[in-house]
């Protein structure tokens, strides 16, 4: 089953400095039909005004992944981690026993990020933070595994989950095999996902499917987030 969410139909809030769209219920946006997708709890499509950001705040026992689509985000935490993640790159943070951090747009332009929260496999681990590059060259074969819980990717999280990413040229067709549940984010262009035409900003929740067929109707970019379903989460 594939359930598509169009960008125009997403919930959200505009705080002036932050214009946020929520794929699932978050903060003051509550929709009982959009609570989570397996262990995937949050996907926010955030636009952050120049020289603003999220002041220092706490997190605990959560896997937080940020993909920077435009601009840059500067991270600083109380564990000594600090870094600037630029457009086309991704960062991960395992909050574990607890961490204080800030995320600021120190640039002269708007920053656009996907912020993804995944429930951890185990609680009480040592907090950690890391970053890596998003694949730059288009693929005609398979998406790149960027994040996983099994040390087979550049970035590690505390969950049996995987995040794949890639760019496709118009006319390219690839097949992606799925383990568990998946959520597909179209970050650029238009892609036909197993018969569902999806545009920039759209999301597709995939359940009980072993694969999806991806047909790029334009030059495009996407992320696929695979997580255990609640029935097989640990």
Q: How many residues in the chain?
A: 234
Dist. CA 229–CA 212, nearest whole Å: 17
What backbone phi and psi angles, to 5 degrees, belong to 231? -70, -20
Domain co-membership, 24 together with 102: yes
> What is the pTM assigned to this prediction?
0.94
Range of the domain at 156: 144-232
3, part of any domain:
no
pLDDT at 233: 36
Look at residues 23, 11, 20, 19 and name the one whose alpha carbon lies nearest to residue 198. Answer: 23
**Is the per-residue pLDDT at 234 higher than 50?**
no
pLDDT at 230: 61
Q: What percent of the chain has pLDDT over 90?
A: 91
Domain co-membership, 40 together with 84: yes
Dist. CA 216–CA 228, nearest whole Å: 27
Dist. CA 149–CA 156, nearest whole Å: 5
Dist. CA 179–CA 191, nearest whole Å: 21
């Amino acid at each position: 089953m594939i359930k598509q969410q169009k960008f125009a139909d997403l919930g959200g809030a505009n705080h002036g400095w932050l214009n946020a769209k929520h794929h699932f219920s978050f903060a003051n946006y509550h929709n009982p039909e959009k609570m989570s997708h397996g262990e995937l709890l949050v996907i926010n499509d955030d636009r952050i005004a120049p020289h603003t950001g999220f002041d220092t705040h706490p997190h605990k026992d959560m896997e937080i992944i940020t993909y920077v689509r435009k601009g840059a985000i500067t991270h600083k935490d109380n564990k000594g981690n600090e870094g600037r993640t630029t457009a086309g790159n991704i960062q991960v943070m395992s909050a574990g026993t607890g961490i204080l951090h800030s995320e600021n747009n120190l640039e002269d332009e708007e920053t656009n990020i996907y912020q993804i929260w995944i429930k951890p496999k185990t609680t009480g681990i040592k907090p950690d933070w890391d970053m890596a590059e998003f694949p730059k060259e288009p693929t005609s074969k398979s998406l790149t595994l960027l994040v996983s819980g099994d040390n087979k990717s550049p970035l590690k999280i505390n969950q049996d989950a995987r995040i794949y990413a890639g760019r496709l040229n118009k006319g390219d067709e690839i097949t992606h095999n799925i383990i568990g549940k998946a959520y597909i984010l179209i970050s650029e262009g238009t892609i036909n996902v197993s018969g569902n035409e999806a545009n920039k900003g759209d999301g597709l929740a995939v359940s009980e499917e072993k694969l999806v067929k991806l047909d790029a109707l334009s030059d495009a970019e996407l992320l696929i987030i695979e997580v255990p379903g609640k029935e097989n989460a640990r």
